[in-house]
Amino acid sequence: MPNSNSQDYGASSIHVLEGLEAVRKRPGMYIGSTGVKGLNHLIYEIVDNSVDEHLAGFCDRIRVILGSDGSCTVSDNGRGIPVEMHEKGVSAERVALTVLHAGGKFDSSSYKTSGGLHGVGSSVVNALSRSMTVTVKRDGGIFRDTYEYGKPTTELIDGLLPQIGKTREHGTETTFIPDDTIFDQTRFREEEIKSRLHETAYLNPGLTIYFEDRRNEDESLWESREFHEPDGLKGYVNELTKGMEAVTEVVTLKGESDGIEVEIAFRYVDEFHEEVLGFCNNIFNAEGGTHITGFKTVFTTIVNNYARQLGSLKEKDSNYTGSDVRNGMTAVVSIKHPDPRFEGQTKTKLDNPDASKVVSKVAGEGLELYFDRNLETLKSVIGCAEKSAKIRKAEEKTRTNLLTKQKYSFDSNGKLANCGSRDPSKCEIFIVEGDSAGGSAKTARNREFQAILPIRGKILNVEKASIDKVLANQEIRAMINAFGCGFSEGYGNDFDITKLRYDKIIIMSDADVDGAHIATLLLTLFYRFMPDLIYEGHVYTAMPPLYKAMPKKGKEEYLYDDKALERYRKTHDGPFTLQRYKGLGEMDPEQLWETTLDPERRRLRLVEIEDARLAGEVTGLLMGSDVAPRREFIHEHAEEALLDV
Ligand code: 0RA
């Protein structure tokens, strides 16, 4: 029976029930999903509370037991959830289990909060459980509270939990059975749980986690595991590189600054790949974040500095890239942050700027100390970078050869209609959407200085494609070849703007959504592979008119936007017919020349990106598969930054 004593369960607590109701209405918002992932997540929420108690220094054992009744029991030997009277007039345990977000935040100075996916704790698990029993041992007593679907079923005595026994032990035990009306299925997936518990053990070397799966009817088939990893991150990196040929030992770095604790372990193996894992408050950050960036940046800088000191890089050589330096690296970066923030859709990317600062400080200092004393390891690391740089340069060369070889075949395959002049400062190239508009443009243009490159339909979205795919794309190759200045990718840079064959690269697409989309795809390509084209102001979009106004009396006039039409309506009294252009294809060559090609009359907009940061943001925006924001970009950014010429 739910407790209905109004003294024990006052007005503030009614609100509480509404809170848990919200969890039942939108479980996905609190635990990610109602699939088996979300189901397992219930266990992690409870375990994380015990891990927090370990981090606070009061618990070194956690047990996780899967029962045959579909339950999970998590117990620890911590201080025990406080059971005394809370300011809300009931036991603090009751508040923790029924108030959303209250879990664990009794005393934030001595008790670190977990950086969990949703950080919501036991009350959420309670809300999503058919039944839940919490047993607390502390202050010499054993206290028990029970719930069904998040609602208390134990009657409090003067607001406090009934004592069911005596003990000198302390700790918390939580047993819950997930609500099968919420979850698609209620069988916990043990493989994932074990792996996560093992990971937790690596991240907390002082902790022993015992796991037992008692779900089989046959007791002899129960599985039990004990996870204790006293070597911590070092052991973790060892495990991650098991069976690979080690190039270095596992190096560990540790330090603290501004209240942020940092621990790092890394090693090199003889493999052409890198793996860098980030954790914040024991939670894996699948998308990395500021801690990882801080580590990578300082690592690259330091290895390059040493490489120059040791003569691996000569004066004329460019630096090793970040991925050169991490060639063969396996690393784990784990930080403890008092106030973690996350970004990204899945909330798995750490966002705190101070994390980057502190990690690079700790890692930087630690690395210099270590490398100064371990020259052989340093040389091995530099050796891995040398190897990577060599391969990278060879690949770049092949790629450039591939492109230059095909240069003339593109010129002669009929797509590019080049101009007569070879003076880049006078030349322009129009990238025209569609063969028919391309045909008109070829007829209409001034052959002396205007080149036309028709492209078919939508080009490849380079944000979503691998470099090989990008370079295999005919339209993209045609553009790279026509421009003549190569391309840069990632850290590699084979781009040479001085070789650009046209002063103006003009994107000419229809003034509709599809046209905007194509322009966006082209801009994405330029950002990523030829950003200097934009930084140095060579990229424009053509502005074909939207309307032609034909008055009964007087001259015809092209109107380039709706504002112009408005103005026209206001300033012309006589009757006029209005022709609306839906696409470039509707214009004959002469009209196309008058409105869009003729430098004397056309309107162009310069595509300008203020700085790299904005470009990065925009590129991120363009990456999404959502069409709407892309359009916005074209209309807002390319518009406001675009000057009329
Ligand atoms: C808040 C304060 C204290 C302990 C805990 C929470 C606590 C919560 C959980 C959840 C699972 N196991 C837990 N162990 C401890 C400290 C109260 C005191 O000062 O004794």
- Specify the CATH number for the domain of residue 328: 3.30.230.10
179 counts as catalytic: no
514 counts as catalytic: yes
- Residue 641 pLDDT greater than 60, yes or no: no
- Residue 630 pLDDT greater than 70, yes or no: no
For the range 484-490, what are the long-range contacts, defined as Cβ-Cβ under 8 Å and sequence gap of 24 or more?
A: 485/530, 486/400, 486/403, 487/529, 487/530, 488/529, 488/530, 488/531, 489/528, 489/529, 490/321, 490/323
Mean pLDDT of the chain: 84
Residue 609 pLDDT level (bands cut at 50, 70, 90): low
d(CA 313, CA 320): 8
Task: Name which residue leads in pLDDT, 628 or 186.
Answer: 186
Which among 354, 371, 394 is the end of a domain? 394
Domain count within the chain: 4
CATH number at residue 110: 3.30.565.10
Residue 476 contacts residue 523 (beta carbons within 8 Å): no
Residue 1 lies in a domain: no
- DSSP calls for 269-328: BSSS--EEEEEETTEE-TT-BHHHHHHHHHHHHHHHHHHHHTTSS-TTSPPPPHHHHTTT
CATH number at residue 494: 3.40.50.670
Annotated active-site residue in 365, 514, 586, 632: 514
CB 93 less than 6 A from any atom of ligand 1: no
Instruction: Give the model's pLDDT for residue 572.
Output: 85
Of ligand 1's listed atoms, the one at least distance from the Cα of 46 is: 11
Structural tokens at position 129: 């459980």
Residues 25, 148, single domain; the answer is yes
| 38 CA distance to ligand 1 middle (Å) | 24
Q: Measuring CA to CA, which residue among 39, 55, 36, 642 is closest to residue 336?
A: 55
d(CA 485, CA 497): 6
- Residue 613 pLDDT greater than 50, yes or no: no
Instruction: Give the model's pLDDT for residue 495.
Output: 83
Instruction: Give the model's pLDDT for residue 491.
Output: 45
Residues 460, 589, single domain; the answer is yes
Q: For atom 10 of ligand 1, which residue has the closest CA?
A: 49
Residues 263, 283, single domain; the answer is yes
Q: What share of the chain is helix, strand, coil (3-state, %, to 5)?
A: 40, 20, 35
CA distances from 547 to 57, 440, 441, 574, 581 (A): 74, 19, 19, 17, 6
Task: Name which residue leads in pLDDT, 609 or 189.
Answer: 189
| 332 CA distance to ligand 1 middle (Å) | 29
- Residue 78 pLDDT greater than 90, yes or no: yes
CB 56 less than 6 A from any atom of ligand 1: no
Residues 378, 417, single domain; the answer is no
Annotated active-site residue in 8, 53, 428, 433: 433
Classify 342 as helix, strand or coil.
strand
d(CA 144, CA 134): 6
Least confident piece of the model among 134-138, 515-519, 626-630: 626-630
d(CA 149, CA 177): 10
Helix (H) or strand (E) holding 441: helix 435-444
Which of 241-245, 446-450, 608-612, 625-629 tops mean pLDDT?
A: 446-450
Residue 161 lies in a domain: yes
Of ligand 1's listed atoms, the one at least distance from the Cα of 105 is: 1
The average pLDDT across 22-29 equals 89
Percent with pLDDT over 70 in the chain? 83
Instruction: Give the model's pLDDT for residue 105.
Output: 34
d(CA 87, CA 90): 7
Task: Name which residue leads in pLDDT, 393 or 196.
Answer: 196
d(CA 87, CA 351): 34
433 counts as catalytic: yes
CB 322 less than 6 A from any atom of ligand 1: no
Residue 272 lies in a domain: yes
Instruction: Give the model's pLDDT for residue 5.
Output: 39
CB atoms within 10 A of CB 32: 16
Residues 59, 109, single domain; the answer is yes
Residues 605, 617, single domain; the answer is no
Structural tokens at position 121: 């704790």
Give the HSE-up count for residue 374: Cα atoms under 13 Å, Cβ half-sphere: 16
Helix (H) or strand (E) holding 193: helix 190-203
d(CA 52, CA 45): 11
- Residue 618 pLDDT greater than 80, yes or no: no
Residue 221 lies in a domain: yes
Which residues on adjacent β-strands are paired with residue 451? 429
Task: Name which residue leads in pLDDT, 516 or 127.
Answer: 127
Residue 249 contacts residue 267 (beta carbons within 8 Å): yes
Residue 491 lies in a domain: yes
Model pLDDT for residues 239-292, shown as the tens digit of each residue: 999 989 999 999 999 999 999 999 999 999 998 778 899 999 888 898 899 999
d(CA 264, CA 248): 15
Where do the H-state alpha helices sit in 26-137?
Answer: 27-31, 36-55, 92-98, 122-127
Q: Is the dihedral of CA 388, 389, 390, 393 positive or negative?
A: positive
Instruction: Give the model's pLDDT for residue 561.
Output: 85
Residues 223, 237, single domain; the answer is no
Which of 109-113, 126-130, 630-634 tops mean pLDDT?
A: 126-130
Model pLDDT for residues 417-443, shown as the tens digit of each residue: 999 999 999 999 999 988 788 888 999
Task: Name which residue leads in pLDDT, 361 or 525.
Answer: 361
Residue 67 lies in a domain: yes
Residue 569 lies in a domain: no
- Residue 617 pLDDT greater than 60, yes or no: no
Query: CA angle, 607 as apex, 603 and 609 as ends, to 5°?
Result: 155
- Residue 38 pLDDT greater than 70, yes or no: yes
The average pLDDT across 549-575 equals 88
Which among 175, 209, 227 is the end of a domain? 227
Residue 71 contacts residue 177 (beta carbons within 8 Å): yes
Which residues on adjacent β-strands are paired with residue 507? 431, 541
Model pLDDT for residues 99-120, shown as the tens digit of each residue: 886 433 333 322 334 433 223 4
Instruction: Give the model's pLDDT for residue 524.
Output: 79
| 626 CA distance to ligand 1 middle (Å) | 45
Instruction: Give the model's pLDDT for residue 274.
Output: 85
- Residue 643 pLDDT greater than 60, yes or no: no
Give the HSE-up count for residue 393: Cα atoms under 13 Å, Cβ half-sphere: 11
Residues 414, 489, single domain; the answer is yes
Instruction: Give the model's pLDDT for residue 431.
Output: 95
Model pLDDT for residues 336-377, shown as the tens digit of each residue: 998 899 886 566 899 999 999 999 999 999 999 999 999 999
CB 58 less than 6 A from any atom of ligand 1: no
Give all strands of the β-sheet with 539-542 in edge-to-edge order: 450-455, 428-433, 504-508, 539-542, 604-606
User: Domain residues for 434?
Assistant: 408-544+581-609
Q: For atom 12 of ligand 1, which residue has the closest CA?
A: 50
Percent with pLDDT over 90 in the chain? 55
Instruction: Give the model's pLDDT for residue 399.
Output: 66
Residues 126, 146, single domain; the answer is yes
Nearest-10 Cα torsion for 218, 220, 223, 224: 130
Which of 220-229, 464-473, 533-542, 617-626 tops mean pLDDT?
A: 220-229
Residues 110, 61, single domain; the answer is yes
| 353 CA distance to ligand 1 middle (Å) | 30
Structural tokens at position 435: 């063969």
d(CA 178, CA 188): 10
Residues 463, 602, single domain; the answer is yes
| 103 CA distance to ligand 1 middle (Å) | 9
Annotated active-site residue in 512, 562, 588, 636: 512
CA distances from 531 to 183, 516, 528, 570, 611 (A): 48, 19, 6, 42, 11
Residues 468, 319, single domain; the answer is no
CA distances from 561 to 207, 296, 564 (A): 68, 48, 5
Tokens 């991240």, residue?
203
Residues 6 or more apart whose CB falls under 8 angstroms from that of 450 comprise 419, 427, 428, 429, 430, 597
Give the HSE-up count for residue 249: Cα atoms under 13 Å, Cβ half-sphere: 9
Q: For atom 14 of ligand 1, which residue has the closest CA?
A: 80
Burial of 583 (0-12, 13-18, 19+ CB in 10 A): middle
Instruction: Give the model's pLDDT for residue 168.
Output: 96
| 81 CA distance to ligand 1 middle (Å) | 4
Which among 341, 360, 394 is the end of a domain? 394
Of ligand 1's listed atoms, the one at least distance from the Cα of 74 is: 11
Residue 212 contacts residue 108 (beta carbons within 8 Å): no
Residue 572 lies in a domain: no
The average pLDDT across 167-172 equals 97
